[in-house]
Amino acid sequence: MASPTSKTTPEPFVWLLFSAGGVVAALVLPVLVVLFGVAIPLGWVDAPDYGHLQAVLRNPLTRLAVIGISALALVHAAHRLRFTVEHALQLRRYDAVIATVCYGGAVAGAVAAVYLTLGAL
Amino acid sequence: MSSPLEARYHRQRVPLLWWARRRSYATFMLRELSSVFVALFVVELLLLVRAVARGPAAYQGFLDAMANPAVIAVNVVALAFVLLHAVTFANLTPRAMVVRLRGRTVPARLILAGVYAGWLVVTVFLLWLVVG
């Protein structure tokens, strides 16, 4: 068996991203789900008009925030989902495949966030 | 202690639905499953950004899609899970972070109060930013 010091794993780095993503998701997502998922669709709150939302999203700080929040929250979810699937369904054997799908999905989402905020808006 | 050889050939069989047998295990699974809805809502947010990038008609289309009763139902479930995530993660903070001030450990309750105050500030700010 290899000694613990001879092997470097990305695990601590992933853990850092995991907790940062958890904090960001906890702080920001509830109010946004309430607004865009429930209150606006049910007509409790008027939808923001297009010009206002466009102006808010085009602000450099908002672009940065959208990228940061999406990337971190997705990495958080990917890391959690990887182990949930493996523990709940006892699929440890397929860790390589499951990890690739989870983190790959998170990276794809982060790339989409960068493209949308910096390229498309 | 079993020898490595024994450990290799004797494997305890765990039932597939082990987590459904106890309430605490099931709660743990629900908490972990919240990640699915976190990811789902991030995708919805990115769809909103895409709609705004494409123009007023696309934005209206996004609003109409979100007003579909089935989508609202999914988002109500997503809200419950996102709140579960927020509460469980906030309650973890005093255990993950020990703050020392003038040589004394700040009590867990105070840290928790700070976390919830920060959460309130962010929530009010975002409400103002989007709607106000």
Q: Number of Cβ pairs closer than 8 Å across A and B?
A: 151
Instruction: Tell me the whole-structure pTM to 2 decimals.
Output: 0.87
Q: How many CA atoms lie within 13 A of A46 on its CB side?
A: 7
As a whole number of angstroms, the distance between CA B122 and CA B85 comes to: 16
As a whole number of angstroms, the distance between CA B121 and CA A9 comes to: 37
pLDDT at A26 over 70: yes
Q: Name the residue with tokens 């995530």.
A: B85
* Residue-averaged pLDDT of chain A: 92
Give, for B105, the enclosing helix (H) or strand (E). strand B104-105
Does the distance separating the beta carbons of B86 and A27 come in below 8 Å? yes
Contact between B131 and A48 under an 8 Å Cβ cutoff? The reply is: yes
As a whole number of angstroms, the distance between CA B56 and CA B94 comes to: 45
Nearest CA in chain A to B53: A121
Does the distance separating the beta carbons of A29 and B129 come in below 8 Å? no
Which value does ipTM take for this structure? Answer: 0.89
Residues in A closer than 8 angstroms to B67, CB to CB, are: 41-42
CA dihedral angle for residue A68, residue B46, residue A75, residue B129, rounded to 10 degrees = 40
- How many CB atoms are located within 10 Å of the residue B24 CB? 9
Contact between B39 and A108 under an 8 Å Cβ cutoff? The reply is: no
In tens, the pLDDT along B23-32 reads: 888 888 899 9
Structure tokens at A109: 């989402």
Q: What per-residue confidence (pLDDT) applies to A6?
A: 58
Selected residue with higher pLDDT from B1 and A56 = A56
Residues in B closer than 8 angstroms to A89, CB to CB, are: 16
Q: What per-residue confidence (pLDDT) applies to B5?
A: 64
Strand partners, B101: B104
pLDDT at A1 over 50: no
Residue type, A78: A
pLDDT at A39 over 80: yes
Q: Name the residue with tokens 């309650």.
A: B91
